[in-house]
Structure 1
Amino acid sequence: MDARVHPTLASFDAATLDRLAADPVRNTVALTSLDRARRLPSADNPPTLITFHDNGEVVGSLIRTPPWPFQAADLPVAAADLAAQIAAEVDPEAPGVTGPRQKSHAFATAFATAFATAFATAFATAFAADRSFTESLATRLYRLGTLVPPTSPGTGRLATEADIELLGAWRKAFTREAVPEAPDEEATEIVRSSLRLGNGHALWEVDGTPVAWAAASLPQVGMTRVGPVYTPPEHRKHGYGAAVSALASQWALDQGATDVILFADLTNPISNSIYQRIGYQPLDDWAEFWWKR
């Protein structure tokens, strides 16, 4: 097996677009992040794009869109060592990896060794010693079956540019609570660009006051991913999260999505049960690993 580092997104697309699109549920993160990179390119933070080949045929890929971790959903486990060796050389600043548990764990394990080999310094040796990465997030991937909207007090609507400041603050709070290891980001600008890309942002309100939020990506080859979903602490335990999740899911269906999916934190049994009550069915377990620095 060999690998190729692609200098441009166009080159990577030529090799992988049909492959990724053939399984949009598994490749959900790659499809949405690459779509963003195409439509809102960043000269300062170009993506890292690697393909793996066996007898001339593309058999997998590994990508990273800074500042986020590597995405290993399309990485063959057999290519983990090769992928880690190349990644350590071309993108040593990567903070971690996410993907189906077996794939992401294989890559994280191999990356520690590859990093120490590529950078034979005291820092790299310390990095590879003991346990060099930690599991920062364990999630379960769900796909919507038949949507069952809950009965909750309040009403829903789609967010507009007038809501950007509120949603930026809520996104920052969500990240701080759910993924504290995540890199710094301009949360308000993330929301602003998401609206610009055509993604759906649903708000649930009670007496005109927003109490919960759920975002949903514009469909990519029939797939939409719902998330983040956030209810401020003072508004929890009233069913608002379920209501706004159902509203975002219905928006995705109205946009023509055939696969509506989401990730739920496995350490939060409440959210997992809520999603199943409104029609989501479990598919696969994912894990995110971050390097110790």
Structure 2
Amino acid sequence: MDAVVHSTLESFDAATHDRLAADPVRNTIALTSLDRLRRLPATDASPILITFHENGEVVGSLVRTPPWPFQAADLPLTAVDLAARIASEIDPDAPGVTGPRQRSEAFATATGKNFTESLATRLYRLGTLAPPTIEGSGRMASEADVELLGAWRKSFTAEAVPEAPAEQGIEVMRSSLRLGNGHALWEHNGVPVAWAAASLPQAGMTRVGPVYTPPEHRRHGYGAAVSAMVSQWALDQGATDVLLFADLTNPISNSIYQRIGYEPLDDWAEFWWKH
């Protein structure tokens, strides 16, 4: 097993684009994050891009777009020791790893570092969409909504992923809209009560998330309604695989997604190093 650390995204794309696109469900995070890098190049830390080779063939890859953890969805189990060694040498400040549970946990273990499981999620794929009947109506968000979206993204992150790196929520939302991602707002009596986002399709795949309802508007079905709306937007954009992740510690959201047509596929886990 050999490894190549790529100094440019173009070099990494040449080695992995077809491979990643051939399994867009498993490689959902890599496809969306790499697309964002191509169209909105990073201004701070450069991405970490590694491929693994056997007999001259690419058999896997490992990606990190700082400040986020490594993405291990395409990391073969046979390469975890090599990957951990290279990662510690070229990216000692990486905070952790995310991916399908078996792969991410194997990588975390191979690093020899103390780690903690920060997030356990289930990956779902849309079967037949079944929009609920909920009071209110939905609309797609625009540039005029970036302050609201930025505030809600900050609230979502603080609640769902408190260890996530700090970010400028308004700028993140402005960039997301510029990339063509879909952001749906559900309104009741003219007041926005829930938000859901979906990525522009990559290799036929769209991923829904975040989905956020402020605490004062919960338990009315608004989250289900706006999730169904943005899922329909994704289908209208030509997506054939509409995916989302649900926190396994939240049985309510898992049941809501299944009621509107999402079917469970795989369990993922995120591990962060202890300092």
Residue deviations 1:44-64 (CA, integer Å, cap 9, x gap): 221100000001100000000
Residue deviations 1:97-141 (CA, integer Å, cap 9, x gap): 000000000001111x2xxxxxxxxxxxxxx4xxx1000000000
> Which residue of 2 is the match for residue 10 of structure 1?
10
> Which residue of 2 is the match for residue 234 of structure 1?
216
Structure 2 counterpart of 1:7, one-letter code: S
The 2-side partners of 1:285 and 1:30 are apart by: 17
The 2-side partners of 1:89 and 1:38 are apart by: 26
Structure 1 counterpart of 2:105, one-letter code: H
> Which residue of 1 is the match for residue 241 of structure 2?
259
TM-score (norm 1): 0.93
The 1-side partners of 2:159 and 2:191 are apart by: 22
> Which residue of 1 is the match for residue 232 of structure 2?
250
Identity of aligned residues (%): 81
Q: Does 1:96 align with 2:78?
A: no
Unpaired stretches in structure 2, ≥5 consecutive residues? none
Residue deviations 1:10-50 (CA, integer Å, cap 9, x gap): 00000000000000000000000000000000142211000
The 2-side partners of 1:277 and 1:177 are apart by: 24
The 1-side partners of 2:164 and 2:20 are apart by: 25
The 1-side partners of 2:156 and 2:130 are apart by: 25
Structure 2 counterpart of 1:27, one-letter code: N
Structure 2 counterpart of 1:258, one-letter code: T
> Which residue of 2 is the match for residue 290 of structure 1?
272
1:170 corresponds, among 152, 161, 164, to: 152
> Which residue of 2 is the match for residue 57 of structure 1?
57
Q: Does 1:148 align with 2:130?
A: yes
Give SS of 1:261's match: strand
Q: Does 1:269 align with 2:254?
A: no
Structure 2 counterpart of 1:94, one-letter code: A
1:202 corresponds, among 166, 169, 184, to: 184
Residue deviations 1:191-213 (CA, integer Å, cap 9, x gap): 11000000000000001100000
The 2-side partners of 1:64 and 1:170 are apart by: 25
1:190 corresponds, among 169, 172, 192, to: 172
> Which residue of 1 is the match for residue 78 of structure 2?
78
Residue deviations 1:43-98 (CA, integer Å, cap 9, x gap): 42211000000011000000000110000000001111100000011111111100
The 2-side partners of 1:88 and 1:61 are apart by: 16
Measure how far apart 1:230 and its partner are: 0.2
The 2-side partners of 1:71 and 1:42 are apart by: 17
Q: Equivalences for 1:117-136 in 2 at 5 Å? A: 128=113, 132-136=114-118
Give SS of 2:26's match: coil
Give SS of 1:73's match: coil
Unpaired stretches in structure 1, ≥5 consecutive residues? 114-127
TM-score (norm 2): 0.99
Which stretches of structure 1, 4 residues or more, deviate above 4 A after TM superposition?
none
